[in-house]
Structure 1
Amino acid sequence: MARLKRPSLTQAILLAMVVGTLVGWLFPDFSQNLKPLSTIFLRMIKSIIAPIIFATLVIGIAGHGDDMKRVGRLALKSIIYFEIVTTLALFIGLAAVNITKPGVGVVLAGADAQQGQQLGETAQSLTVGGFLEHVVPTSVIQAMAENSVLQIVFWSILFAVGLSQVRGEPKRMVLGVLEGLAEVMFKLTGLVMKYAPIGIGAAIAVTVGHSGLGVLVNLGKLILTLYAALVVFGLLVLLPVALMARVPLKKFARAVKDPALIAFSTTSSEAALPRAMQAMEALGVPRRIVAFVMPTGYSFNLDGTTLYLALASVFAAQAAGIHLTLGQQLTMMLTLMLTSKGVAAVPRASLVILSGTLATFGLPLEAVALILGVDELMDMARTTVNLVGNCLATVVMARWEGEFDPDRPAEDVTPEEAAHILGTPEPQPA
């Protein structure tokens, strides 16, 4: 008798959602007793936020310090381009979620009306001066203990800048320790995700038992909102950028087709990276530009992910019944803009960043468990947009530098060479 194939994490989560929905629908009173199982999952997620953000952000900045000095002008142009494009992605996500309001009508068991009112009053009382003071920690240990993400980011950036000015063995030793810490946290995230089906199933059961089956309509609306917003982003941002940079659209579309399909089907940008680097060189982008812009873009130019984070964070506030003013939402966007840098290599990076942002603004993490149930469907789209955005960035930078030549014969970049350029293990096929 053939052995049954073990279900993937996605299949296990989907099965847990079905079971949780049935339990919440058929046994609404009993389902409320499952809340501790969901809380355990959310607490484990919160516990890995600070070390992951610190390690990856410092490596992302200090680890590229020498490269940025060598490439000079290209580095400055790339960073400016990345920040402009990702900021536009944030605003499109913010506009989409405020138009469709997918979270309105969800009643999270972990957030009551009084809590929502208190959180709203606290956010409204935060002045510009108070916000600036809040960003700077008196103790980074306290900031990490309280998961104050903005304070962690501020201190991490200062630490990275200081480390980038250190030369020789001390710098290599510190980066080595942080790379080890990041690797351990990646593995720990994988262990936490093994518990995800139980935590998510319990969260769905509690929410359905508390709110009814209508919550499933809200999740479907969230997915459709994301896909529509990504299409709008492509038409209003990426397409005009390509036209202004005189990118040969047909050749570019053919070049990114294969890596985009890999990214969409595997939900892994890393799996598609070697093929994407080959495709961009074949299109006429010099290797030195591909080697710098592509890996840097994986830290600073995650268009699809930043759009998703804007949408998901406001969805959480809507689901909690908390009204955020435009100023408060913009403050959240600033936080997301900072915290989304440097964590592209983290499994379920968006989950970590979303959890940290919600914790910073006092929003209930129960929304994370709900969103994670359908995260795979959204991850396929945002990963594809991340990849296409980074491919376009390499062509734009090459055109900006006057070095784009679509007729130039290209040297192939093998997977081993791509892994060496990034300083990461060679991506394995899905």
Structure 2
Amino acid sequence: MKKSNRLTLYIVLGMILGILTGYIIFNSYANDEAAIKKIADNLSILTDVFLRLVKMIIAPLVFSTLVTGVAKLGDIKAVGRIGGKTMLWFITATFVSLFLGLILVNILQPGHSLNLPVPDSHASAGVSGTDMTLRGFFRHVFPDSVIMAMANNEILQIVIFALFFGVAIAAIGEKGLPVVKLLDAVAHIMLKVTSYVMNFAPFAVFGAMAAIISQKGLGILLTYGTFIIQFYGGLILLWIILSLAGFFVLGRSAFNLLGRLKAPLLLAFSTATSEAAYPRTMEELEKFGCDSKIVSFVLPLGYSFNLDGSMMYMTFASMFIAQAYNMHLGLEQQISMLLVLMITSKGIAGVPRASLVVIAGTLSMFHIPEAGLLLLLGVDHILDMGRSATNVIGNAMATAVVSKWEGSLAKEPEALQEV
């Protein structure tokens, strides 16, 4: 069995064992919430360690790969051309994701069918809204210290600095070659470090699933079952749309790419963070036949600008809360909400629970009680698993499509090697 397939198998086993362990703990300590919380906290250590290790490698990996990718593109015209194609796909995918969420939530009306008492409109959800002003958006996008940006894992700010740095290296020509070689070596070293970190993934998955099930029990899946099924049905529909868009450009090899992504998808799904899958996604894209320069350029941008699963969730969740409070938003207000989310969501890469942060800010702008977020907090982790996996598909498909548009994708016989 190939190493990547073994890792996938171990992740699945970790997920299954985690669910079983959580179920046993939940039933064994049904009347002792303090004991359950203590056990869940201890189990979460496995996940916390893994996620901290992932965050440890993300900043140097994104910086080194993106700078190398930009520098190897050769000139500002190439950067502009590829960047333009990339942003065209990202903006289109973002709009489709937000619009799909808006359509589904209006058709399914999950806020009216949940039949749960809504929280008091003045209650606090414990989630602070992001600064929705234009000035606040740009202050978050552009770093005042690249060291601070790396320390806080502000991916978007790291991307901005890396773009400037890479273009400057390309502009000075041969004098920049030693730096390119150095950062290329750093990128390969970080990928090797990544392979070590990924070996811990099955334990992290076990801890994450055991912790959430031991605290919430399987009953929470029944209480919110309809809402969860509707949202995941929407995600499946989004997967189909992204796959068909990829098929339109890539042909049958688009489905081969999806097959290659099974390990990154499982990793993102089980840990509820697409960052955890970033290194493996990069590796699988290069094996698929994408030019390493394109991968190093497009994928980091995707983690800042193209979180398709999170986009769909934002319109779906915002309208769900409005429905729960029997608030009617007209078509004009809903389109305004879509446009607001389209802009503000681009400045929150790297923010913990970023989707909830943006939703909180959007609710206040449209005078929807922020306390409605309390309806989602109990199942947000379960929902985050699906949207994190969707983010991986969206970014991988975008990278492959841009590679195809640039004529840098390996020919089909090479790309269709055994997965």
Range of TM-score over shorter length: 0.5 to 0.7
Alpha-carbon contact 1:32-1:206 (below 8 Å) kept:
yes
**Amino acid corresponding to residue 231 of structure 1 in structure 2:** I
- Residue in 2 aligned with 1:93? 97
Task: Count how many residue pairs are aligned between Structure 1 and Structure 2.
Answer: 357
- Residue in 2 aligned with 1:307? 308
Change (3 A) 1:33 1:152: same
Task: Indicate whether 1:335 and 2:347 are aligned.
Answer: yes
Alpha-carbon contact 1:24-1:205 (below 8 Å) kept:
yes
- Residue in 1 aligned with 2:72? 67
For residues 374-411 of structure 1, give each alpha carbon's deviation from its aligned partner in whole angstroms, at most 9, with x where no partner exists.
68xx84x776666665555455445xxxx99xxxxx98
Specify the SS of the correspondent of 2:128. helix
For residues 45 and 303 of structure 1, the distance between their equivalents in structure 2, rounded to whole angstroms, comes to 22
Specify the SS of the correspondent of 1:167. helix
Further displaced range: 10-19 or 256-265? 256-265
For residues 289-336 of structure 1, give each alpha carbon's deviation from its aligned partner in whole angstroms, at most 9, with x where no partner exists.
x68657755555689973224235677889999999656633453136
For residues 302 and 138 of structure 1, the distance between their equivalents in structure 2, rounded to whole angstroms, comes to 21
For residues 113-170 of structure 1, give each alpha carbon's deviation from its aligned partner in whole angstroms, at most 9, with x where no partner exists.
84427624xx3x5422233234444444444455545444444444444555561324
- Residue in 2 aligned with 1:14? 16
Deviation at 1:175, TM superposition (A): 4.2
Alpha-carbon contact 1:63-1:175 (below 8 Å) kept:
yes
Alpha-carbon contact 1:46-1:356 (below 8 Å) kept:
no
- Residue in 2 aligned with 1:281? none
For residues 136 and 254 of structure 2, the distance between their equivalents in structure 1, rounded to whole angstroms, comes to 46
Change (3 A) 1:196 1:75: same
For residues 360 and 273 of structure 1, the distance between their equivalents in structure 2, rounded to whole angstroms, comes to 34
Specify the SS of the correspondent of 1:203. helix
Unaligned segments of structure 2, at least 5 residues? 1-5, 266-279, 326-333, 361-375
Deviation at 1:15, TM superposition (A): 3.4
Percent identity between the aligned chains? 13
Alpha-carbon contact 2:101-2:312 (below 8 Å) kept:
yes
**Amino acid corresponding to residue 14 of structure 1 in structure 2:** I
Change (3 A) 1:191 1:46: closer
Task: Indicate whether 1:127 and 2:133 are aligned.
Answer: yes
Further displaced range: 263-272 or 138-147? 263-272
Alpha-carbon contact 1:264-1:383 (below 8 Å) kept:
no
Specify the SS of the correspondent of 2:176. coil
Change (3 A) 1:28 1:91: farther
Specify the SS of the correspondent of 1:8. helix
Task: Indicate whether 1:220 and 2:229 are aligned.
Answer: yes
Alpha-carbon contact 1:21-1:204 (below 8 Å) kept:
yes
Alpha-carbon contact 1:143-1:151 (below 8 Å) kept:
yes
Further displaced range: 6-15 or 97-106? 97-106
For residues 370 and 313 of structure 1, the distance between their equivalents in structure 2, rounded to whole angstroms, comes to 15
Deviation at 1:85, TM superposition (A): 1.1
The normalised TM-score by structure 1 is 0.60
For residues 204 and 52 of structure 2, the distance between their equivalents in structure 1, rounded to whole angstroms, comes to 14
For residues 126 and 184 of structure 2, the distance between their equivalents in structure 1, rounded to whole angstroms, comes to 44
What is the correspondence of 1:25-424 to structure 2 with a 5 Å cutoff?
Answer: 27=30, 29-30=32-33, 31-37=36-42, 39-40=44-45, 43-44=48-49, 47-48=52-53, 51-69=56-74, 76-100=80-104, 114-116=123-125, 119-120=128-129, 123=130, 126-162=132-168, 164=170, 165=172, 167-185=176-194, 187-191=196-200, 193-208=202-217, 211=220, 213-233=222-242, 242=248, 253-254=251-252, 256=254, 258-263=256-261, 270-271=283-284, 274=287, 306-311=307-312, 326=338, 329-335=341-347, 339=349, 355=352, 357=354, 369-371=381-383, 379=389, 392-398=401-407
Deviation at 1:86, TM superposition (A): 1.8
Change (3 A) 1:85 1:327: closer
Alpha-carbon contact 1:305-1:386 (below 8 Å) kept:
yes
Change (3 A) 1:328 1:29: farther
**Amino acid corresponding to residue 307 of structure 1 in structure 2:** D
Alpha-carbon contact 1:83-1:301 (below 8 Å) kept:
no
Deviation at 1:355, TM superposition (A): 4.9
For residues 18 and 115 of structure 2, the distance between their equivalents in structure 1, rounded to whole angstroms, comes to 20
**Amino acid corresponding to residue 17 of structure 1 in structure 2:** I
Alpha-carbon contact 1:313-1:354 (below 8 Å) kept:
no
Deviation at 1:229, TM superposition (A): 1.8
**Amino acid corresponding to residue 67 of structure 2 in structure 1:** A
Alpha-carbon contact 2:97-2:238 (below 8 Å) kept:
yes
For residues 212 and 89 of structure 2, the distance between their equivalents in structure 1, rounded to whole angstroms, comes to 35
For residues 188 and 255 of structure 2, the distance between their equivalents in structure 1, rounded to whole angstroms, comes to 33
